[in-house]
Amino acid sequence: MLWRMQWHFLASAPDDGAMNMARDEALMRWTARTGQAVFRVYGWSAPTLSLGRNQRARGCYNLEAAGARGIGIVRRPTGGRALLHHREITYSATLPAADAAAASAAYALINDILLDALGRLGAPAAMATAGKALPPGLRPCFDAPSTHEIAIGDRKLVGSAQWRHEGALLQHGSILVDDDQHWIGELLLTDSEPPTPAATLRDALGRAPTLEETAAVIREALEARIGEVAAFADEAALEASTVDLARDYRDDAWTWRR
């Protein structure tokens, strides 16, 4: 059972796109070796456009405009559509998952934890009951919620994606504090309709919660659902693996693979 395994919690300082994606993959590999789960909360040291694993992106974005705005670009190991990491808080969870059914159960568990945490902050979030999963494309991730995504009303608040590999699952996602996702359309080389405004924590709460505050309520929600949660103690080995994997996420052959 997902709540009976050993869980760890890790709050990471903001980092760049390659390091953040590499650290999530390093945690996934650690989970595959140990059979233990990790919930991580983190931020980004600069605005970063992240591309879905299989999203078409080569020749689609104005790289000069992105550079002028100080926006980095990274391709995620997980699927889904492009999103901008800037005024938001990112979470990741890595846990054993042998098959698609286990991945589905993990998705439901993680959403329960996030909904509890958002409720502790005072945000009236709920699971979207309408919509459908959208295929990879150039419309931004937060354009509209799919069924079972976390939303406030009919506006998406949390965008999540998964990757399952060698018996382990990575699920990570973005919780918007402010809505700057319209920047994505402004970086496209082709005209794009403005996205539907997304839900934000600022709108829901009337203020912007900090990374530390949000990490604390997520840990509280995790402990309420799972029980005892340990601090992640293998950080030296994690960082060595992260630095090694970050080379792949900085490689244009990966970023612009399609």
The answer to whether 174 touches 117, Cβ cutoff 8 Å, is no
Specify the 3-state DSSP secondary structure of 10: strand
Question: Angle at CA 241, nearest 5°, toward 240 and 243?
Answer: 65
- Give every CB contact of residue 58 below 8 A, 6+ residues apart in sequence: 256, 257, 258
Closest alpha carbon to 95 in 11, 24, 44: 24
The DSSP secondary-structure symbol of 147 reads: T
The pair of three-digit structure tokens given for residue 165, joined into one six-digit string = 């590999």
The answer to whether 8 touches 93, Cβ cutoff 8 Å, is no
Question: Angle at CA 76, nearest 5°, toward 240 and 182?
Answer: 130
For residues 231 and 254, give the distance between their C-alpha atoms in angstroms, rounded to a whole number: 32
Partner residues linked to 84 by β-bridges: 49
The pair of three-digit structure tokens given for residue 10, joined into one six-digit string = 């890790």
From 141, 158, 221, 238, the catalytic residue: 141
User: What CA dihedral angle connects 6, 9, 15 and 16, to 10 degrees?
Assistant: 40
**Does residue 60 carry a catalytic annotation?**
no
Q: Which residues are catalytic?
A: 141
